[in-house]
Structure 1
């Protein structure tokens, strides 16, 4: 969601007296200007309210042809729900609400450019309040890369490789079996009920939690500032007790590893945090 507030410049300062303060008349005008700015902003806020994409009861829908076997989603300011589905084209449903005071009309755009789905929200003004959400249905068998600048991302149902990167927002993946590469600069990362053999998950600011339902070949989980939790199966698909080669470290916090360990094991798990607890345990 975008909420923008444009500050109106105060009156230019006048000549400063030798004692270091501006003339009283100048100071009074400056105070009045600031008061007017505050009043205008307050009135604008009351007029705009708080936008929510969920209030859009008549969403837009569009389908896009996909030429290759990899889809890149390029979004700058929207919540995204990305799902694998029984469709032949990429289907997008868009919810949007927005208001702008003393600015251009808010608008959203979508386009497919060389198998790159580009989603944009434009919301600029004195007081701007916009909220967008997209549901993206992807044909099965297609690998997906998501590049989100500002907004949370959820994904589910993927058997092919799935990569998600957000600059500001959480990442949640469920019910997927393809390789996962999940990263957030500012937000939590979750991969729950996944059967992926290769998992990389990291965040600079937030927690990481991985819940695997299949014994992985390699897991790398890390956070600069937050806890890291990795839950692993007790047995493989043949009912054989799973043993893991685990590296678990933190610079500031507790470390708890309760899964069977083998320093030469084939199932490699790395869990690290600079500031937070690290837990590697068996899934319930």
Structure 2
């Protein structure tokens, strides 16, 4: 065994224990339904929309709007937030999550003009009426 080689394991265990303790102090209870909503609208004049959700809970609603409105609820207790909502051509990319030692929750609601054909994560999707 090399000098000092045995000392790395106790340091690693101490760092891991400190990280889990910090996570416990922040509380693991997060709920996007209780978060303050944020909204963004995107001008849109296409006939079809491709929605990529990255597996974040997303409600799709057909409305009498001319644009696309995205509402996001996001709550985090730990970690680095990763928040995305962008429309490029006919593809709407939305994502909300955390990285690192993370505790977070997210939801989206996407309101689209009636008559728009929507695929969600590659699958044809039925929209609910508002």
- TM-score per shorter chain, which class? 0.7 to 0.9
Q: State how far apart, in whole Å, the 1-side matches of 2:60 and 2:87 are.
A: 16
Partner of 1:100: 78
Bigger RCO (CA 8 Å, 6+ sep): 2
1:118 lines up with 2:96 in the alignment: no
How far apart are residue 51 of structure 1 and its match? 2.5
Q: Give the 3 Å change call, closer, same or farther, for CA 77–115 of structure 1 in structure 2.
A: same
RMSD between superposed Cα atoms in Å: 2.8
Give the structure with the larger strand fraction. 2
Partner of 1:163: 124
Residues 51-79 of structure 1: per-residue CA shift (max 9 Å, x gap): 221120x2011221212100111222521
Q: State how far apart, in whole Å, the 1-side matches of 2:12 and 2:98 are.
A: 25
What 5-or-longer segments of structure 1 have no aligned partner?
A: 1-13, 16-22, 149-161, 165-172, 177-284
Give the structure with the larger helix fraction. 2
Residues 149-184 of structure 1: per-residue CA shift (max 9 Å, x gap): xxxxxxxxxxxxx715xxxxxxxx6879xxxxxxxx
Partner of 1:273: none
Q: State how far apart, in whole Å, the 1-side matches of 2:127 and 2:96 are.
A: 27
Q: State how far apart, in whole Å, the 1-side matches of 2:64 and 2:127 are.
A: 17
Residue 115 of structure 2: SS of its match in structure 1? coil
Partner of 2:113: 139
Q: Compute the TM-score of the two structures, normalised by the length of structure 1.
A: 0.39
* Contact 1:77/1:132 (<8 A) preserved: no
Q: State how far apart, in whole Å, the 2-side matches of 1:65 and 1:31 are.
A: 55
Partner of 2:104: 130
Q: State how far apart, in whole Å, the 2-side matches of 1:93 and 1:52 are.
A: 15
Q: Compute the TM-score of the two structures, normalised by the length of structure 2.
A: 0.78
How many residues in Structure 1 have an aligned counterpart in Structure 2?
A: 128
What 5-or-longer segments of structure 2 have no aligned partner?
A: none
Residue 121 of structure 2: SS of its match in structure 1? strand
* Contact 1:99/1:106 (<8 A) preserved: no
How far apart are residue 95 of structure 1 and its match? 0.3
